[in-house]
């Protein structure tokens, strides 16, 4: 399906991204030295102009030194300030035309500032980690940093041979020359810039279960000392994969990997085809199993089906939260109804001034987005009944595979699976701020 594009700048991050064109493919060649934290890169960006000619356009890139820069092989005029690389081609690009940008950059990568602290490229004690949600991608490569602009990627990383490189996608080649190794990954599925994940460290790689014919290859990349705990904590991930494929439809990518760092992370982070966990999420007692389910579910909700802009983040987090409840329900834990009641009880104690459909930039990662998002999905399930609800979910993923969606498009989609009116449900749960009563199966909202 063709990727849908939102019409203008992201209202929460108007300085990020450029809606006047879209990127088809990124080819990144990186050389990273962990000791001095030195990154040198070359990007080849294949893009297509929108409905108007492009006399100038912008990419997002943090404070690196820019070397060579070309548009269709010619040197443009450019400026680089405040994380924005403004480019004026030697000749305007006509409407609808394909064009290529080549950028060489180098420097010491570091997180970019955000209302949630530094995000993006993070230097670790022994390696590096990329966690870019929502606007950290420019911390390490030039990009059109808007979630609606999804492109394929080839990523080549050269680093000292003592280190392994893990990225979302399929490992094409691994080539060692002298003291360095080059890892080349291909992510053919359209990917939002913030979902391009990367981990560099000393990992041991294990296969999680036997995918069998037609199955999904799943690998874990972990520090050797954590292998015993990891083997227990992630033992049920293959069963999660089977369940989510039953409930949501086929896994949307070629492979799935999880990487665990030696450092602690506040929360795990999803990337396309890859999830990143901290050492604190591995305890040998399945203490973070709900998060294993949450990150896996994002491969369908958030990664395959992505938000058109950040106002709609509940469509990522609400579904991933509800997937936690579905896994609990199907694996012998508490039912979704019981977990919904707990979430409802929590929300009743918190301020009721957040609207899911537009929570505001500073509330993007508020716990209420997650909990109320999960409750909203549960309310839809209660209204439709299980058969129609899960059919609706599978159809949602199928119809919008590799595309972008909004709250309004989800409401319209749900309405097709019932004869009963659903506008009131969305008005109360998504557009209103006051917490509605706890949804109960079989009782109209």
298 is in an annotated binding site: yes
DSSP labels for 1-18? -PPP--SS--SS-TTS--
Rounded Cα distance, 183 and 164, in Å: 8
Rounded Cα distance, 103 and 41, in Å: 8
Rounded to a whole number of angstroms, the distance between the first and last alpha carbons of the chain is 33
DSSP labels for 308-370? SSGGGTHHHHHHHHHHHHHHHHHTTS--HHHHHHHHHHHHHTS-----TT---GGGTT-HHHH
Q: How buried is residue 51: exposed, middle or buried, by Cβ count under 10 Å (0-12/13-18/19+)? A: exposed
412 is in an annotated binding site: no
Rounded Cα distance, 90 and 149, in Å: 25
Rounded Cα distance, 114 and 82, in Å: 13
Rounded Cα distance, 256 and 247, in Å: 18
Nearest to 166 by CA among 123, 204, 112: 204
294 is in an annotated binding site: yes
Nearest to 155 by CA among 38, 44, 33: 44
Catalytic residues: 295, 370
Would you list which residues are annotated within the binding site for Zn(2+)? 294, 298, 317
């Amino acid at each position: 399906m063709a990727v849908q594009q939102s019409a203008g700048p992201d209202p929460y991050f108007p300085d990020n991204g450029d809606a006047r064109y879209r990127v088809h493919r990124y080819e990144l060649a990186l050389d990273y030295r962990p000791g001095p934290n030195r990154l040198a890169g070359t990007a080849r960006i294949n893009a297509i102009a929108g409905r108007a000619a492009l006399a100038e356009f912008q990419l997002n890139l943090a404070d690196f030194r820019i070397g060579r820069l070309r548009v269709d092989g010619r040197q443009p005029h450019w400026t680089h300030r405040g994380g924005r690389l403004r480019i004026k081609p030697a000749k305007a690009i006509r409407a609808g035309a394909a064009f290529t940008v080549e950028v060489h950059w180098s420097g010491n990568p570091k997180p970019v500032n955000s209302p949630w602290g530094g995000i993006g490229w993070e230097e670790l004690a022994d390696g590096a980690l990329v966690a870019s949600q929502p606007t950290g991608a420019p911390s390490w490569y030039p990009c059109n940093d808007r979630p609606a602009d999804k492109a394929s990627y080839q990523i080549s990383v050269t680093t000292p041979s003592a280190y392994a490189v893990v990225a979302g996608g399929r490992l094409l080649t691994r080539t060692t020359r002298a003291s360095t190794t080059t890892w080349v990954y291909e992510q053919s599925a359209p990917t939002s810039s913030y979902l391009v994940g990367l981990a560099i460290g000393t990992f041991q790689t294990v296969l999680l279960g036997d995918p069998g014919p037609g199955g999904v290859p799943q690998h874990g990349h972990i520090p050797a000392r954590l292998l015993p705990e990891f083997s227990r904590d992630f033992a049920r991930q293959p069963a999660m994969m089977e369940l989510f494929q039953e409930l949501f439809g086929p896994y949307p990518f070629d492979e799935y990997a999880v990487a665990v760092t030696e450092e602690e992370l506040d929360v795990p982070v999803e990337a396309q085809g890859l999830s990143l966990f901290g050492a604190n999420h591995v305890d040998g007692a399945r203490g973070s199993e709900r998060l294993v389910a949450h990150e896996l579910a994002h491969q369908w909700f958030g990664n395959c089906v992505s938000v058109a802009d950040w106002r709609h983040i509940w469509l990522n987090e609400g579904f991933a939260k509800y997937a936690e409840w579905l896994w609990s329900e199907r694996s012998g834990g508490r039912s979704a109804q019981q977990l919904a009641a707990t979430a409802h009880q929590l929300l009743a104690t918190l301020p009721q001034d957040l609207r899911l459909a537009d929570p505001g930039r500073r509330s993007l990662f508020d716990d209420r987005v997650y909990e109320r998002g999960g409750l909203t999905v549960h309310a839809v399930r209660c209204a439709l009944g299980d058969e129609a609800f899960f059919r609706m979910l599978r159809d949602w993923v199928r119809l919008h595979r590799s595309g972008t969606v909004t709250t309004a498009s989800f409401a319209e989609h749900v309405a097709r699976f019932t004869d009963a009116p659903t506008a009131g449900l969305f008005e109360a749960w998504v557009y209103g701020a006051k917490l509605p009563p706890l949804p109960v199966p079989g009782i109209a909202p």
